[in-house]
Every structure is written in C-alpha cells, then in structure tokens.
C-alpha cells in the first residue's frame, strides 16, 4: 500500500541490481535488453505496490536497481509508461498461466477447479499485482482492463472462453447458462477474493479458498431433494418441549411461529 511522500520503506522491496551490459570487446547478448527490461518491471511493480503510484519516482526505482534514472528512462520514457507496462506484464503472466490450464485435456470440471486454484495461487505468489490493479483503476481509469475472465467479443480470449464453455456443456453436467454469465460470475468471485485478501490483510489460503469457491459454483446453496441430509440424524437440532405439549410437538413451527392452541373438551 502507499506510504507517505518521501518515506522509503526499504523493508518492502529488496534491492535488485540491474544486470550489467557486457564490457568493450565482448560479444553482444541479444537477450540482454529483454532481461534488463523484465528486471526493471519486476522491481517497479514491487516499488509501486509498496509506495503507491503518486509517491513513487523513477529515481526511487532506479535506486533499488542500483542504476541512474537515465537507465530506466532508456527503456521507459515516462513514469506512466513504466507503471502501465508493469501492470500489463503482470496481466499477461496471469493470462498465460490461465490459458495453459484451460487448454489442457481432461474433465472440464476438474480443469475449472484447477483454473480457480491457478488464479488464486498467482496472486498469492505475486501480491503486488493485486495492489497495482487497484492503483491502475484510480490513476488511469481510461485503462480499465478485465482480469482474465471478462473478455470482449472481438478478442482471442473470448474465443478460448467459448471453446472451454462448450467442453463444459458437452459433459451434460451443467446448466446451459449464457457463457458470459458464467465467466463474469466466476471472475467476480475470484477478484473479490483477492481484493479481500489484500485489503483485510488476511493470510491467503489458495487451497481452502479454491475448495469453497468451486463448491459454491458447482453445488450452489440449495439442497437437492435426493441429496442426503447435511447433518446425521442424531445430530439434528432438538427443540425444547413446551409445557403441556407431547414429546412429538415443537414449541415453534418451522416458520418460527407458535402453533395454534388446542383446548380439551
């Protein structure tokens, strides 16, 4: 979360010296530029998350990298571009991980379970990304981007979601809901979970949260008529017997109202 202007919480982000360029006479490394850019974005994401967009300067990020701010500006001409690139990189990493899961062969319901787990594990591993998504919406409302499950009709993600939804339908085990409703609802549940984890400070438990979310999605709240009672018979609650009632009567009926009084002739 953001800290006051001028505060440098060095405990929040570990220094990460930028990889150096090869010296004179040494062959050029064609992958060095990409590695340096990725390293800058990794550090920038953690610094922005720790200090907030407004309280972070390019110089602060350069300090953590152990370079002058001119080196950072060489790759990212403005702080805005650096921040948005860090957000975009994190979102692309999430998308790549989720796509790998949804494209796996196997039972689509098992894959849905694994997709929820993958999403929650990503934000457990990269908690700074949840913070950046919040900051992006505040500082750059025009750059609103859906977090994987929401998609637009003209993008590749929409097509992949449709394909997976058809696999779910083919199992014959789910209702034929509009697939946008399914993906938007799942996305809202997951996004709400990661934000609550972040804002409440509670420890994230991807396994337990995955089980709870998937159980609610697949089984819902209503008990099926043919389903067993959630409590064993001997564990069912017993109402107190009112004075003058038989042992088979309850002081309250199932709606919480007193039953009609009967009078003996």
Counting the structural domains of the chain, the total is 2
pTM: 0.73
Burial class (CB in 10 A: 0-12, 13-18, 19+), 222: exposed
CB 176 within 8 A of CB 169: yes
**232 within a domain of the structure (yes/no):** no
Same domain, 212 and 95: yes
Give the Cα separation of 163 and 81 in Å (integer).
Answer: 34
pLDDT above 50: residue 210: yes
Phi-psi region of 113 (alpha: psi -120 to 50; beta: other; left: phi over 0): alpha
Spatial distance between the Cα atoms of 27 and 32, rounded to a whole number of angstroms: 11
pLDDT score of 191 more than 80: yes
- Contacts of residue 238, Cβ cutoff 8 Å, sequence gap at least 6: none
CATH of the domain at 40: 1.10.10.60
User: Does one domain contain both 41 and 104?
Assistant: no
Please report which residue ranges of 2-103 form alpha helices under DSSP H: 32-51, 58-65, 69-75, 79-102
Assess whether 1 and 92 both reside in one domain. no
Other Cβ atoms less than 10 A from the Cβ of 188: the count is: 13
Q: Are 90 and 202 members of one domain?
A: yes
pLDDT at position 156, please? Answer: 80
Contact indicator for 132, 45 with CB cutoff of 8 Å: yes
Distance CA 40, CA 71 (A): 10
Question: Residue 121 sits in a domain of what CATH number?
Answer: 1.10.357.10
What number of H helices and E strands is found in the chain?
9, 0
With cut-offs at 50, 70 and 90, classify the pLDDT of residue 111: very high
Domain-embedded: residue 90: yes
Residue 103 lies in a domain: yes
Range of the domain at 5: 1-20+32-77
Q: Compute the mean pLDDT over every residue in the chain, rounded to the nearest whole number.
A: 79
Question: 46 falls in which pLDDT band (50, 70, 90)?
Answer: very high
Q: Please indicate, yes or no, if residue 250 is contained in any of the structural domains.
A: no
* Dihedral sign, Cα of residue 157, residue 159, residue 163, residue 166: positive
- The pLDDT tens digits for 58-76 are 999 999 999 999 999 999 9
Alpha-carbon gap, residue 63 to 44, rounded angstroms: 11
- Residues in contact with 260: Cβ distance below 8 Å, sequence separation at least 6, in sequence order: none
> Can you list the alpha helix ranges (DSSP code H) found in 126-234?
127-139, 156-170, 179-200, 206-219
Cα of first residue to Cα of last residue in the chain, in angstroms, is 75
**What value does the mean pLDDT take over residues 23-35?**
72
């Amino acid at each position: 979360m953001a800290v006051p202007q001028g505060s440098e919480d060095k405990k929040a982000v570990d220094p990460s010296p930028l990889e150096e360029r090869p010296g004179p006479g040494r062959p050029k490394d064609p992958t060095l530029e990409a590695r340096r850019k990725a390293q800058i974005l990794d550090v920038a994401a953690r610094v922005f998350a720790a200090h907030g967009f407004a309280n972070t300067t390019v110089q602060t990020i350069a300090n953590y990298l152990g370079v002058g701010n001119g080196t950072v500006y060489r790759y990212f001409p403005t702080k805005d571009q650096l921040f948005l690139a860090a957000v975009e990189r994190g979102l692309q990493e999430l998308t790549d991980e989720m796509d790998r899961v949804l494209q796996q062969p196997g039972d689509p319901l098992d894959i849905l379970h694994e997709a929820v787990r993958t999403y929650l594990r990503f934000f457990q591993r990269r908690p700074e990304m949840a913070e950046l998504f919040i900051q992006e919406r505040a500082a750059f409302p025009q750059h609103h981007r859906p977090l994987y499950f929401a998609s637009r009709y003209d993008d590749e993600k929409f097509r992949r979601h449709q394909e997976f939804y058809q696999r779910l339908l083919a199992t014959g085990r789910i209702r034929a809901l509009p697939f946008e409703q399914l993906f938007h609802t799942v996305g809202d549940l997951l996004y709400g979970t990661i934000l609550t984890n972040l804002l409440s400070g509670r420890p994230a438990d991807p396994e337990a949260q995955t089980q709870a979310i998937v159980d609610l999605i697949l089984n819902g709240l209503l008990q099926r008529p043919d389903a067993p009672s959630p409590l064993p018979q001997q564990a069912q609650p017993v109402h107190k017997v009112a004075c003058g009632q038989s042992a088979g009567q309850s002081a309250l009926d199932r709606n919480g109202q007193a039953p009609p009084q009967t009078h003996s002739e």
